[in-house]
Structure 1
Amino acid sequence: MATTQGVNVLRYSALVAGLVYGVYHQSSITSAAKRAEAQHEYARQERLIEQAKAEWKKKTTPKDAQSSGVITDPEDSRFDLEAYLKLKAGEN
């Protein structure tokens, strides 16, 4: 009878240990999947931000600067007189 009790203790101990390991393993798999999904979402948002910045820059850049790269509007704060004069000298 003593051996039967010892075997039952070992069986139930193994069962409990297996259940604990299963719960731990499942939680680690779930957390890894959530981390990967969060990284994927962050990368997608970075791409959207870069696209928005590029579109905004294309939208706000004056038409003159888009074709030659030089801002020809003297009222613009980024106006460069030297670059403008070189552009006009090259056209002649």
Structure 2
Amino acid sequence: MASQGVNVLRYSALVAGLVYGVYHQSSLNSVAKRAEVEHEYARKERLIEQAKAEWKKRTQPQETQTQATGLITDPENPKFDLEAFLQAKA
């Protein structure tokens, strides 16, 4: 039979191991949660950059074409000249 001192030592080690296990698991969970949040933030940031690039690509060619040739190709524009547009296409 083990003495009381040995039993106290065993149970103290058991409780210390349980406390360490809970602490270690919570630190691992917090690191994983932080990494997940950072990953989601990076994904949203990439989506925003893609949307900005797509918007710029859609709006930029009209502006550069108008500035380069002086020809307005948008029929909704009040300054649109059909005759000049047809001559440019011919």
* Structure-1-length-normalised TM-score: 0.68
Equivalent residue number for residue 5 of structure 1: 7
- The letter of the residue matching 1:44 is R
- The letter of the residue matching 2:18 is V
Equivalent residue for 2:29, pick from 12, 27, 30? 27
Q: CA deviation at 1:57?
A: 0.6
2:73 and 2:52 map into 1 onto residues whose CA distance is: 27
Instruction: Spell out, residue by residue over 1:36-63, the C-alpha distance to the aligned partner (whole angstroms, 9 max, x if none).
Output: 1111111111111000000011244583
Instruction: Figure out how many residues of one structure are paired with residues of the other and give that number.
Output: 77
2:57 and 2:30 map into 1 onto residues whose CA distance is: 41
- The letter of the residue matching 2:34 is A
Q: Which runs of 5+ in 1 are unaligned?
A: 81-92
Equivalent residue number for residue 78 of structure 2: 79
Q: Could you tell me the percent identity over the aligned residues?
A: 9
Q: Which runs of 5+ in 2 are unaligned?
A: 80-90
CA RMSD of aligned residues (A): 2.6
2:74 and 2:50 map into 1 onto residues whose CA distance is: 33
Q: CA deviation at 1:3?
A: 1.4
2:58 and 2:74 map into 1 onto residues whose CA distance is: 22
SS in 2 for 1:79: coil
Q: CA deviation at 1:71?
A: 8.0
* Structure-2-length-normalised TM-score: 0.69
